[in-house]
């Protein structure tokens, strides 16, 4: 089976979120079980610099509405083949993949990701310029959402559309239809029209042969109004073609037994190193050097979605328990300001680092006693996996992938060996506070706490299971097309 994996970002080359992590790991896991996967990604500066020995494999000229471009062949460190879409006019610029350095969206995102979608479809069409032609195209999020539409109108191979976050939909004015050279018949409810505009994501959801998303619970949630973001009706009608597959993680990168970013490595049978990481984390963030006080870790975007407003609201009460807070992230200016104010108000108890630091994120996962993820919605989430692997029980809201991957700690779940964290229902500050209090109470009982940590660290979060589920979906789609 040959699969083209089309994505707008891929770790470690270019990353803004979980999509990059999936793009960097899932293709490798699929190749390990016999799927011939190649990844199509735009030629951003960070990607081009990874190709010192680049060579052209196809010239792409005369695509209606798009500048000339070419495909370069490369390879990831994990052996996954890359097809880099080189179009300097669209991708060679400072800033992020979607935004200018000043923060606003690139003015030509319509063309930038229209071209990415178009090329994905060209490679899956009878007119492909490559000798290698995929049996199926796996598209990811709105940036590749037009590919299923282009494939359908070009009588190309089948497609699977993967939703990593339904909140981002690629909305453009209706005049974009002409710029993208799509037929007028496609602009309607039965097509890519979305409340009078054009949506890349809706195109993918409507025209793809199958839809996947990154957790079973999220697959159900997005069919309802609360988390459907206007797409719930379409998704409900496609329920039979919608599959939720929980993400995995890179278990080599996230391994407390050999993580070079830690102060000291450790394992479930030798936990002494975790205490040393806590000591170093406290020192690095200016926290009181106290091995006994519970230390809560946070690595997150500071946004409403992530629910950090609730954590900031209850922080004064948490100080009275007492606990310490180690926070890393960036986002909404008001939340960043509130976090800094709390750190100033409670020196030695709250440490905040605004920005991103790979080394600090690993140290927080290892050095914290528990990890807080009160997301209002979370398609899958990754930090709960990292936390469990590092023996840092997560405290999560019961939504999306968090609900699928964290089992609430109780006498029963400790006894039957399924406990892996603390779960609360209902996005209210009081619910988060009482769940943290329950976690702290468990922390004060060493026998129960050690049992919980070992259960967390025994869980399997490798991509192998997820990759097998994706292959099953691909096989089903190909059988339906035969």
Write out pLDDT tens, residues 199-209: 999 999 999 99
Band (pLDDT 50/70/90 cuts) for residue 327 is very high
Instruction: Encode pLDDT of 160-186 as tens digits.
Output: 999 999 999 999 999 999 999 999 999
> Which residue range forms the structural domain that includes residue 142?
2-248+463-481
62 burial type by CB count under 10 A (0-12 exposed, 13-18 middle, 19+ buried):
exposed
358-395 pLDDT, tens per residue? 999 999 999 999 999 999 999 999 999 999 999 999 99
Q: By three-state DSSP, how is residue 396 classified?
A: strand
pLDDT band of residue 65 (cuts 50, 70, 90) is very high
Q: Which pLDDT score is estimated for 103? A: 86
Res. 266: pLDDT tops 80: yes
User: Is residue 481 a contact partner of residue 135, using CB atoms and an 8 Å limit?
Assistant: no
Question: What pLDDT is stored for residue 53 in this prediction?
Answer: 75
Mean pLDDT computed over every residue of the chain: 96
- Asked if residue 234 is part of any domain, the answer here is yes
- The answer on 329 and 429 residing in a single domain is yes
Which residues, including other chains, have CB under 8 Å from residue 53's CB and lie 6 or more apart? none
Flag whether 258 is in a domain.
no
Edge-first strand order for the sheet with 242-244 is 55-60, 69-75, 81-86, 36-42, 2-6, 136-140, 159-163, 210-213, 242-244
SS3 label, residue 167 = coil
User: What does each C-alpha distance from 304 to 84, 298, 374, 376 come to in angstroms?
Assistant: 35, 15, 10, 8
The region that residue 480 occupies, defined by phi over 0 for left and psi between -120 and 50 for alpha, beta otherwise, is: alpha
Which residues in 182-311 belong to E strands, given as ranges?
193-194, 197-199, 210-213, 242-244, 295-302
> Is 261 a member of any domain?
no
Give the pLDDT of residue 151.
98
Structure tokens at 155: 């009588």
255: in domain: no
pLDDT digits (tens, 9 = 90+) for 40-56: 999 999 999 987 777 89
Phi, psi of 81 (to 5 degrees): -70, 140
Say which residue the tokens 């039965």 belong to: 190
Q: What is the pLDDT of residues 208-262, one digit of tens each?
A: 999 999 999 999 999 999 999 999 999 999 999 999 999 999 898 899 999 999 9
pLDDT category at 60 given cuts 50, 70, 90 is very high
Write down the pLDDT at residue 203. Answer: 98
Answer yes or no: do 447 and 470 share one domain: no
- What whole-number distance in Å separates Cα of residue 330 and Cα of residue 354? 5
Say yes or no: 292 and 330 in one domain: yes
Give the whole-angstrom CA distance, residue 343 versus residue 320. Answer: 15
- Tell me, yes or no, whether 176 and 215 share the same domain: yes
Compute the distance between CA of residue 304 and CA of residue 469 in angstroms, rounded to an integer: 32
Average pLDDT over residues 141-145: 98
The pLDDT-based confidence of 118 (bands split at 50, 70, 90) is very high
Cis link prior to 322 (omega < 30° from 0)? yes
| For residue 18, pLDDT beyond 90 | no
Nearest to 227 by CA among 95, 400, 371: 400
pLDDT digits 0-9 by tens, 427-446: 999 999 999 999 999 999 99
CB half-sphere exposure, 110, CA atoms < 13 A: 17
Which band of pLDDT confidence, cut at 50, 70 and 90, is reported for residue 356? confident
Q: Are residues 239 and 293 in the same domain?
A: no
* Res. 338 pLDDT band, cuts 50 70 90: very high
Residues 389 and 323 in one domain: yes
Closest CA to 132 of 77, 66, 73: 73
Is 95 part of any domain? yes
Residues 216 and 308 in one domain: no
Can you give the CATH number for the domain in which 213 is found? 3.40.50.2000
152 lies in the same domain as 280: no
Lowest-confidence segment of 45-59, 78-92, 149-163 by average pLDDT? 45-59
Terminus-to-terminus CA distance in the chain, angstroms? 14
Q: How confident is the model at residue 482 (pLDDT cuts 50, 70, 90)?
A: confident
Evaluate whether residue 97 is within a structural domain.
yes
Q: Quick one: average pLDDT of 333-353?
A: 97
Chain-centre distance for alpha carbon 465: 17
How many whole angstroms separate alpha carbon 244 and alpha carbon 146?
21
pLDDT band at 333 (very low <50, low <70, confident <90, very high): very high
Residues 453 and 467 grouped into a single domain: no
* Strand residue runs (E) in 202-338: 210-213, 242-244, 295-302, 324-331
Do 448 and 477 fall within a single domain?
Answer: no
Provide the number of structural domains found in the chain. Answer: 2
pLDDT higher than 90, residue 188: yes
138 Rama class: left (phi>0) / alpha (psi -120 to 50) / beta? beta
CA nearest to 438, candidates 402, 414, 470, 472: 414
User: Is residue 266 in some structural domain?
Assistant: no
Chain-centroid distance of CA 428 in Å reads 25
pLDDT range class, residue 311, cuts 50, 70, 90: very high
Q: What percent of the chain has pLDDT over 90?
A: 94
Residue 196 CA to residue 455 CA, distance in Å, equals: 50
Beta bridge partners of 285: none
- Cβ–Cβ under 8 Å, residues 354 and 327: no
Evaluate whether residue 231 is within a structural domain: yes
Q: Output 408-416 pairs: Cβ under 8 A, ≥24 positions apart.
A: 409/439, 409/442, 409/452, 414/448, 414/451, 414/452, 414/455
Q: Give me the pLDDT at residue 365, please.
A: 98
In this prediction, residue 329 carries a pLDDT of 94
Burial class (CB in 10 A: 0-12, 13-18, 19+), 105: exposed
Residue tagged 């239809």 (tokens): 177
Give the number of other CB atoms < 10 A from CB of residue 350: 26
pLDDT of residue 52: 75
Q: Which tokens is 188 given? A: 């309607």
Q: Are residues 56 and 191 in the same domain?
A: yes
For residue 319, give the H/E element and its range: helix 308-319
Do 181 and 62 fall into the same domain? yes
Find residue 325's DSSP bridge partners.
296, 350
Average pLDDT over residues 466-480: 97
């Amino acid at each position: 089976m040959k699969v083209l994996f089309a994505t707008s970002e891929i770790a470690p080359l270019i990353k803004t979120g979980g999509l990059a992590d999936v793009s960097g790991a899932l293709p490798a896991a699929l190749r390990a079980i016999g799927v011939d996967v190649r990844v199509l990604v735009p030629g951003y500066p960070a990607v081009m610099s990874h190709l010192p020995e680049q060579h052209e494999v196809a010239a792409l000229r005369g695509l209606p509405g798009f500048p000339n471009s070419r495909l370069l062949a490369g390879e990831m460190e994990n052996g996954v083949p890359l097809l880099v879409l080189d179009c300097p006019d669209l991708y060679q610029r400072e800033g992020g993949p979607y935004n200018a350095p000043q923060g606003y969206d690139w003015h030509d995102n319509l063309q930038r990701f229209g071209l990415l979608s178009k090329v994905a479809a060209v490679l899956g069409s009878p007119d492909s310029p490559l000798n290698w032609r995929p049996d199926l195209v796996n598209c990811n999020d709105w940036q590749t959402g037009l590919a299923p539409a282009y494939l359908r109108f070009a009588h190309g191979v089948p497609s699977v559309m993967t939703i990593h976050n339904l909140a981002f939909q690629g909305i453009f004015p209706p005049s974009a239809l002409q710029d993208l050279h799509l037929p007028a018949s496609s602009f309607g409810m039965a097509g890519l029209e979305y409340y009078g505009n054009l949506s890349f994501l809706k195109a993918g959801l409507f025209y793809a042969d199958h839809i996947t998303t990154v957790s079973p619970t999220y697959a159900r949630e997005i069919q309802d109004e609360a988390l459907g973001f206007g797409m719930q009706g379409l998704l409900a009608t496609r329920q039979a073609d919608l599959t939720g597959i929980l993400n995995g993680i890179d278990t080599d990168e996230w391994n407390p037994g050999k993580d070079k970013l830690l102060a000291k490595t450790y394992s479930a049978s030798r936990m002494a190193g975790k205490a040393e990481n806590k000591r170093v984390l406290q020192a690095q963030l200016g926290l009181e050097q106290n091995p006994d006080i519970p230390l809560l870790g946070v690595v997150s975007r500071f946004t409403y979605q992530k629910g950090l407003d609730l954590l900031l609201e209850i922080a004064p009460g948490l100080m009275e328990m007492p606990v310490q807070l180690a926070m890393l992230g960036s986002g909404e200016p008001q939340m960043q300001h509130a976090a800094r104010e709390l750190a100033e108000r409670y020196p030695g108890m709250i440490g905040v680092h605004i920005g991103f630091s790979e080394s600090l994120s690993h140290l927080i996962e290892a050095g914290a006693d528990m990890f807080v993820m009160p997301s209002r919605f979370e398609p899958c989430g990754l930090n709960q996996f990292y936390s469990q692997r590092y023996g840092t029980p997560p405290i999560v809201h019961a939504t999306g992938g968090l609900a699928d991957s964290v089992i609430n700690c109780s006498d029963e779940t400790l006894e039957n060996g399924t406990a892996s964290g603390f779960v609360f229902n209902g996005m209210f500050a009081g619910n988060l506070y009482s769940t943290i209090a329950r976690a702290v109470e468990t922390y004060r009982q060493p026998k129960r706490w050690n049992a919980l940590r070992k259960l967390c660290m025994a869980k399997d979060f490798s991509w192998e299971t997820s990759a097998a589920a994706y292959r099953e979906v691909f096989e089903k789609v190909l059988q339906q097309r035969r």
